[in-house]
A and B are shown apart, each in its own frame.
Chain A
Amino acid sequence: MQLGRVVGTVVATEKADGLDGVRFLIVQPLDKEQRPSGREVVAADAVAMAGPGELVYFVSSREAAEALPVRFVPVDHAIVGIVDHVHLAVDR
């Protein structure tokens, strides 16, 4: 899993089966110090509570398809939690 910052939303009316009611958010992946790292991705919001500006963590690939209530839907990134705090204990 990786940290990410929600930076936008995507609205799509026509979607593949199983994606009805699923929100899609644009997520900027972050490194562990919460600096942007790599390109933005579109992720399904599997906690259904994430919003723009929030710090989240997300899964990719097959695990993303297991994060939603309807299993094995066609998604490749899914937000699975909202971060309250990241505690970094060791600075290297």
Chain B
Amino acid sequence: MKVGRVVGTVVSTICNEIFEGRRLLVCDLLDENGEPEGYTIAVDAVGAGAGEEVLIVDEGNSARQIVGRSWGAIRAVVVGVVDDWSAGE
């Protein structure tokens, strides 16, 4: 899993059916200093909002389990809102 920060949303009408009715979040991926290092577009499973630090699972089987499907082109999912984290102490 990865720690990220929600920085925006993607609105998409024409999409693969597995994304229908789901929120897509643009998330910066954070390095150990909390600095952005790349980004991903992730499906929201917790109702996260802009500016929040979140936990992102970036693995297909876990993602499909979260949406209750055994197959589908889903991989990155926001699965938690981070209260606090620290690294490199």
Contact = CB atoms under 8 A, between A and B. Distances in A.
Contacts of B18: 80
Contact of A83 (B11, B51, B60): B11
B42 A1 contact: yes
B7 interface: yes
Interface stretch (A5-13, A18-26, A61-69): A61-69
Contacts of A27: none
B7 A89 contact: yes
Interface residues of B, number: 31
Interface residues of A, number: 29
Given A1-B42, A63-B75, A82 B8 contact: no
Q: Is the interface of B mostly helix, strand, loop or mixed?
A: strand
Contact of B10 (A66, A67, A71, A86): A86
Contacts of B73: 46, 59, 63-64, 66-67, 78, 80
Interface in A22-66: 31-32, 46-47, 49, 57, 59, 62-64, 66
Interface of A: 1-3, 31-32, 46-47, 49, 57, 59, 62-64, 66-67, 71, 78, 80-90, 92
